[in-house]
Amino acid sequence: MSDRAGACNMGRGMRIVLFEQDAAIRAKLRATIDEDHSFVLEGESQSWVECEALLDRFVPELLIARLTQLPQQFPESLSDSSFPVLVGLRDEADALPTNGGFYDTLLLPPESEHIRRLLARARFEIYRRKADELSSLLERYMAHEDKRGQFLSKLRVDDENRSQEIALEHVRFIAADGNYLRVHTGNQTFEIRDTMTGISARLDPSRFARVHRSFIVNLSHALGLVTKEGSAAVVRLSDGVEVPVGPNYREQVEGILHLRNQLSA
């Protein structure tokens, strides 16, 4: 498995992962991809296990993979997902895929002009899917705006055997701790007796996001999503604290942060 420049490439272009055993084919694809500055080839793999690790680590917009080497269930699993856009590499004798999940195929051996045309089509499709995601997130955001009055504006917390109220804008993140929740502000930690499910339902989802079964973050303090070594991801806060992101929450967190960045641009 090969990572190309690792995490420093993140955000510099639409991410591609390549899954192909033939070194000559990989080299031809790599050379053409490197000419297109709207894409970044994040990693190459020669086995499906390696490919899965790269998908978890980089969450690419585009996966280019040998048609006959993909597990049968994988393309079907993409039917309900926006990304990655899946392109299959195929020999002339290979049948065209009939199952869902495939966006396009590329005939082998690849010609540079055909690869360039494929990337152009894939780029348009990625933009289209991102626009659809943004539209959907914006609709959800506006729906929540109409309900803003029903959400909490302050939290009542326990502090040295007495109760006080703190404004939610001072809360950086909330962490589960047994039967209690720990509310972290800039320099203090308070305790409340509640559940993650209970507090989530009373916090404005345009301001707070559950990023893990045990963590909620204040989006106004979130700088962005950071991929760590392996497949782990964290939300980095403005004070440098890194809050883990659960795998079941990652796609939603990415969408929320992407929408926030689009609205603030």
pLDDT by residue for the chain (265 residues), tens digit each?
776 644 444 447 899 999 999 999 999 999 999 999 999 999 999 999 999 999 988 889 999 999 999 998 888 888 667 889 999 999 999 988 877 789 999 999 999 999 999 999 999 999 998 888 778 777 766 665 555 557 888 888 877 677 888 999 999 999 999 888 999 998 889 989 889 989 998 898 888 999 999 999 999 999 988 887 766 889 999 999 999 998 888 888 888 887 776 666 5
Q: What is the pLDDT of residue 149?
A: 58
Closest alpha carbon to 51 in 18, 25, 29: 18
Map tokens 């939610």 to a residue. Answer: 168
Q: What is the domain count for the chain?
A: 2
From residue 151, how far is each of 27, 45, 199 by CA, in Å?
Answer: 54, 47, 10
Q: What is the pLDDT of residue 176?
A: 93
Choose one of 118, 142, 166: the last residue of a domain.
142
Q: Which domain holds residue 12?
A: 2-142
Boundary residue ending a domain (142, 158, 191): 142
Tell whether 163 and 256 lie within a shared domain. Answer: yes
Based on the domain organization, do 129 and 60 belong to the same domain?
Answer: yes
Whether residue 137 sits in one domain with residue 161? no
Per-residue confidence (pLDDT) for residue 264, from 0 to 100: 60
Q: How many CA atoms lie within 13 A of 244 on its CB side?
A: 11
47 and 119 together in one domain: yes
Residues 132 and 250 in one domain: no
Last residue of a domain, one of 121, 142, 163: 142
Strand partners, 39: 14
Return the pLDDT at 115.
Answer: 97
Burial 159-187 (b: 16+ CB within 10 A, else e): eeeeeeebebebbbbbbbeeeebebbbee
pLDDT of 5: 47
According to DSSP, the β-strands at 85-90 and 102-107 are parallel
Kindly report the pTM of this predicted structure. Answer: 0.59
Q: The CATH number of the domain where 247 resides is what?
A: 2.40.50.1020
Instruction: For residues 227 and 184, state if they share a domain.
Output: yes
Q: Please indicate, yes or no, whether residues 123 and 154 belong to a single structural domain of this protein.
A: no
What pLDDT is stored for residue 230 in this prediction? 65
Handedness of CA 241, 227, 12, 205 (dihedral sign): negative
Are 8 and 98 within one domain?
yes
Measured torsion, CA atoms of residues 119, 135, 174, 232, in degrees rounded to the nearest 10? -10
110 and 34 share one domain? yes
Domain holding 72: CATH number? 3.40.50.2300
Which pLDDT score is estimated for 262? 63
